[in-house]
Structures are given as C-alpha cells and as structure tokens.
C-alpha cells in the first residue's frame, strides 16, 4: 500500500540492510504467534471460594484483578521458540546455498533469495546460521525473550558468528578498518589494547593482516606509524621475527598508499619495527596506474563544490580539507558533533552529484567513495573494494579466503563496497572486534602445535 510509512521506509533505505531486515521479519512471525503471555492464576484463598470453571469469567469481570498472579507455562517456552527459530535459520541457509549455486552458474538473479532481496550481496562461503544461532542464543538468551523480538543487532552478530565458523579453516587474509574497528574514532592504537595480542595471534597462524583505512597520508609512513604506535611498540617489545612482520600491511587512502612492516634501525642505532612505503607500480593494477592526475583533481573539484554547497545550505560550522586524492568537511569547532542526518545528506547529495558528472563526461569514470565518517564526510579517490582486491592480487588471496572487518556497512559507509570482493564481519566498536577475534582464533591452525591462543577477557 502507499502510505507515509512506506514512503519513509524507502527514504531511509540508506540506513537499512535488506538481508538483515528480511531475516528479522522471518523471526518476527514465530515471536508474535508463539511468545504468549503467562497464564493468569488466582491466590489460593481466593480460588477456593469458586469452582475452576468460573476462573476465566472472574478474570474478565474484575477490572483491577486484585488477586491475580502469573506463573510460567508447564513446558518451557524457550525450547519451543528455539526450535522455531532454528527452523527458520536452516531455511535461510538453504536459500543462501541455492543463491551460491546460481551465482557459480552466472545467474544469481535466478535464485529465490535474490527475488526476495534484490540487493543481496555475494556469499563466498556457506553460512551455518543454525549453529550460529545456537551460539548466539547461549550468550544472549534470544529464544527466552517474550517482549523483545530478535533485533537488528542480534542478527548482525549471529551473521558474524556464522561467517567466522565458515571461513576459519581456509582464511589467509584478514583486513580491518581503522577508526571504530581497531581503535576509537580519531584515536590511535594504545599500548593497552587487548586487540594487540589477538592480531599477533592471527599472524602466528600465518594469516596476512592488513589495516585498510580511509586516512590518507601520501607516502608518509610516519603518519601511519603514529596511528598504530601501540601496535608497533608491541611488535618491537616481543621481538617478532621478520617472517611474521612480513605478514602485516597498512593500506591508506582506501586503496592508494601501501606500506609493509619491517625492522628499522635509527640513526642512533636503535632497532624498532616500522612501516615502509611500497611504490604503486609494485602492486597497483594497470587500470589504477592509468588514472590521470588531471581527471582526479577535476572529480575532487566537483565533490568540493557540492560539499561546500551542502554545508552552506544546512548552516554547518564545517571546514573543508583538500588532499591529493581526497576532499572532505569536518567540524570547525573541536568537540562539536554534526548530526548524523546532516552528514548523510552531504554523502547522498555528493554521491548523486558525482554520478551525474561522470554520466555527462566522456572520459572513463574514476572510482570514488563518498562516506559518512561519523563526524565528517569525505570523498576519496578509489574505495575499499579496490583496496581489498589490490591486496588479494598482491598477496594471492582468494575472495573465499579473505575476511574484512569494519563498522561502516550501510550504503553511506566506506566498508560497504567490500562485500563484492570478500567475506565480511560487521562490528560497531573495538570491543566487538575483540569478541569476533576471540571466536576466530581458537578455530585457526597454527604451525607451532605447542602454541595456543592466549585467552582474552571479554
């Protein structure tokens, strides 16, 4: 039907994930139909005065119900609900497998899941959703809830768990967003971060680990070293061997600046672990190397003009920052937050403006990423989809063996595009990153059989 609700739903599409909404809708049906209120009973002294057959009529006749209490059902509701939820999870598993089979044949649009969720992304591995739901239910007692149905975050977390279970035996490359994934927004890697030991554990398991961040400092290793100083100090203090350090990378500016990790000796003779810039010709494909500086600056000019227009139209106290391969706006006054709705407006407006510009331009379009950074908006040349693909080619990792962890998987976020090239985990803060890595590390294989992952307190 046409209604204000339906119109509002369409306008808010950039704040929804269609697959999660689909699964949430499926789980809502058994919750509504079967999570019934508890049975009303009467106090003993009251119920002895009347026959059992009159209890229901008394319940209806007395508005204030002074002597009514409640008791649990004879059979636990949780068990019945759990079976219903698991049945739904198994059905979605089957739909995902059918979608994967159709995709391998080159016709993913013929799958039943695609017909129901047209924007559904690729699945590079099976997803054991039923097993993941059992794990999530053990932690959060989802099936025991009577008044709060399975939520967006419940489903997001169980999808993460299912992906961890599926990819653990084969994963060879794991990439991370920076802000709000490994450290708080605008902050740096601290020496006390519990993620440090987990990242080192991944490297011990022969995984290549990369930070893929929007932060763009052209060829400036020192700037990136500042952001991950605590992690690099831990590498130094633990005297990690060169073989392990070669498995750690930083890719900045979405896909534009690649660094590898190695031991360095300062002028004073002190050895420490640092980052070394890798020249673009060594890892970038020909199509990236063909992007001309003139075309890049022309696209950034269009983006800057639109961002300035948006800031003026909404009276934002924001400054413009222009870089060689990025442009963005951020609050002029430190500590002042820009409303999420205003940031999203800047993103969506700029995306549309750049697409219109590219449609009118006869030159081959240069990929870009316009995204809401939490308290700023930036337009970068390239995107994390290209970034992950560059690493996959450079390091020889297949999509089904690559895992990207990030917090920006809505359509206005810069992690969203990676879904087309690898498996993903959607987290919301560094604490959730810690949790998913604690799920992953015990499932990995380690060359040194005597090594066991160090337990980390959650």
The per-residue pLDDT for 53 is 52
**What is the C-alpha separation between 373 and 369, in angstroms, rounded?**
11
Cβ neighbour number for residue 387 with a 10 Å cutoff: 29
**What is the C-alpha separation between 194 and 124, in angstroms, rounded?**
29
Indicate whether 356 pLDDT > 60.
yes
CA 199 to chain centre: 18
Pairing of strands 326-331, 377-381: antiparallel
Report the chain's mean pLDDT, rounded to a whole number: 87
Indicate whether 458 pLDDT > 70.
no
Residue 197 is inside which H or E element, if any?
Answer: helix 195-204
Structural contact between residues 400 and 423, judged by C-beta atoms closer than 8 angstroms:
yes
The per-residue pLDDT for 278 is 96
163 closest CA partner among 109, 118, 121, 193 = 121
Indicate whether 264 pLDDT > 90.
yes
Section 398-410 average pLDDT: 94
Would residue 183 be called left, alpha or beta, if left means φ above 0 and alpha means ψ between -120 and 50 degrees?
beta
Q: Which strands form 208-212's sheet, in the order they lie side by side?
A: 271-278, 257-265, 248-252, 208-212, 173-176, 402-406, 423-426
First vs last C-alpha separation in the chain: 46
Residue-wise pLDDT for 150-189, tens only, equals 999 999 999 999 999 999 999 999 999 998 999 988 788 9
The per-residue pLDDT for 373 is 86
Indicate whether 207 pLDDT > 90.
yes
| DSSP symbol at 183 | B
Two tokens, residue 190: 């601290």
Task: Give the percent of the chain with pLDDT over 70.
Answer: 85
Residue-wise pLDDT for 86-135, tens only, equals 999 999 999 999 999 999 999 999 999 999 999 898 999 999 999 999 99
**Among the ranges given (21-30, 52-61, 317-326), the one the predictor scored with the smallest mean pLDDT:** 52-61
pLDDT bucket at 6, cuts 50 / 70 / 90: very low
pLDDT bucket at 79, cuts 50 / 70 / 90: confident
Residue-wise pLDDT for 287-338, tens only, equals 999 999 999 999 999 999 999 999 999 999 999 999 999 999 999 988 889 9
Indicate if the alpha-carbon torsion angle 48, 52, 58, 64 is positive or negative.
Answer: positive
Structural contact between residues 13 and 411, judged by C-beta atoms closer than 8 angstroms:
yes
More confident residue, 248 or 180: 248
The per-residue pLDDT for 126 is 96
Two tokens, residue 26: 């499926």
pLDDT bucket at 451, cuts 50 / 70 / 90: low
Indicate whether 443 pLDDT > 80.
yes
Indicate whether 49 pLDDT > 60.
no
**Among the ranges given (264-268, 315-319, 344-348, 392-396), the one the predictor scored with the smallest mean pLDDT:** 264-268
Structural contact between residues 156 and 405, judged by C-beta atoms closer than 8 angstroms:
no
More confident residue, 83 or 48: 83
Residues assigned a catalytic role: 177, 179
**What is the C-alpha separation between 403 and 175, in angstroms, rounded?**
6
The per-residue pLDDT for 155 is 96
The per-residue pLDDT for 39 is 55
Angle at 429 between CA 153 and CA 121, to 5 degrees: 55
- Token pair 């919301």: residue: 428
130 closest CA partner among 95, 101, 99, 102 = 95
Indicate whether 146 pLDDT > 90.
no
Section 1-23 average pLDDT: 62
Domain map of the chain by residue range?
72-167, 175-458
CA atoms within 13 A on the CB side of 44: 0
**Among the ranges given (53-67, 152-166, 364-378, 425-439), the one the predictor scored with the smallest mean pLDDT:** 53-67
- Token pair 């005065």: residue: 49
**Among the ranges given (77-81, 361-365, 425-429), the one the predictor scored with the smallest mean pLDDT:** 77-81
**What is the C-alpha separation between 380 and 369, in angstroms, rounded?**
5
175-458 belongs to which CATH class? alpha beta
The per-residue pLDDT for 59 is 45
């Amino acid at each position: 039907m046409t209604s204000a609700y339906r119109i509002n739903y369409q306008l808010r599409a950039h704040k929804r994930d269609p697959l999660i909404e689909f699964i949430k809708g499926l789980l809502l049906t058994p919750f509504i139909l079967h999570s019934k209120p508890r049975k009303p009973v009467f106090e003993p002294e009251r119920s002895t005065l009347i026959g059992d057959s009159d209890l229901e009529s008394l319940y209806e006749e007395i508005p204030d119900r002074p002597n009514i209490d409640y008791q649990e059902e004879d059979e636990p509701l949780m068990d019945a609900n759990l079976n219903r939820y698991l049945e739904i999870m198994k059905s979605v598993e089957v739909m995902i497998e059918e979608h994967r089979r159709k995709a391998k044949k080159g016709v993913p649009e013929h799958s039943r899941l695609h017909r129901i969720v047209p924007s559904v992304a690729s699945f590079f591995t099976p997803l054991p959703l039923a097993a993941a739901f059992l794990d999530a239910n053990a932690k959060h007692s989802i099936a025991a809830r009577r008044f709060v149905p399975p939520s967006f975050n419940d489903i997001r977390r169980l999808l993460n768990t299912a992906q961890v279970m599926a990819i653990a035996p084969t994963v060879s490359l794991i990439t991370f967003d920076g802000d709000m994934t490994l450290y708080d927004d605008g902050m740096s890697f601290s020496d006390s971060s519990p993620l440090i030991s987990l990242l080192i554990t991944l490297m011990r398991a022969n995984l290549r680990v990369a930070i893929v961040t929007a932060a763009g400092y052209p060829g400036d290793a020192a700037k990136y070293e500042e952001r991950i100083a605590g992690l690099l100090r831990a590498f130094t203090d633990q005297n990690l061997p060169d073989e392990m350090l070669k498995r750690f990378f930083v890719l900045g500016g979405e896909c534009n600046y690649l660094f590898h990790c190695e031991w360095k000796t300062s002028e004073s003779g002190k050895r420490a672990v640092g980052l070394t810039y890798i020249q673009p010709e060594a890892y970038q494909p020909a199509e990236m190397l063909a992007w001309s500086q003139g075309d890049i600056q022309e696209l950034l000019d269009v983006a800057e003009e639109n961002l300035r227009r948006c800031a003026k139209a909404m009276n934002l106290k924001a400054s413009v920052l222009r870089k060689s391969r990025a442009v963005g706006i951020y609050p002029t006054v430190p500590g002042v937050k820009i409303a999420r709705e205003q940031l999203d407006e800047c993103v969506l407006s700029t995306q549309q403006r750049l697409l219109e510009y590219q449609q009118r331009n006869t030159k081959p379009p240069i990929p870009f990423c316009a995204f809401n950074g939490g308290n700023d908006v930036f337009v970068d040349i390239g995107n994390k989809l290209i970034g992950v693909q560059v690493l996959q080619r450079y390091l020889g990792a297949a999509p089904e063996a690559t895992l990207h962890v990030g917090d920006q998987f809505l359509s206005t976020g810069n992690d969203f595009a990676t879904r087309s090239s690898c498996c993903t985990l959607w987290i919301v803060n560094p604490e959730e990153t810690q949790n998913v890595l604690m799920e992953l590390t015990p499932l990995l294989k380690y060359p040194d059989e005597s090594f066991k992952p160090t337990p980390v307190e959650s």
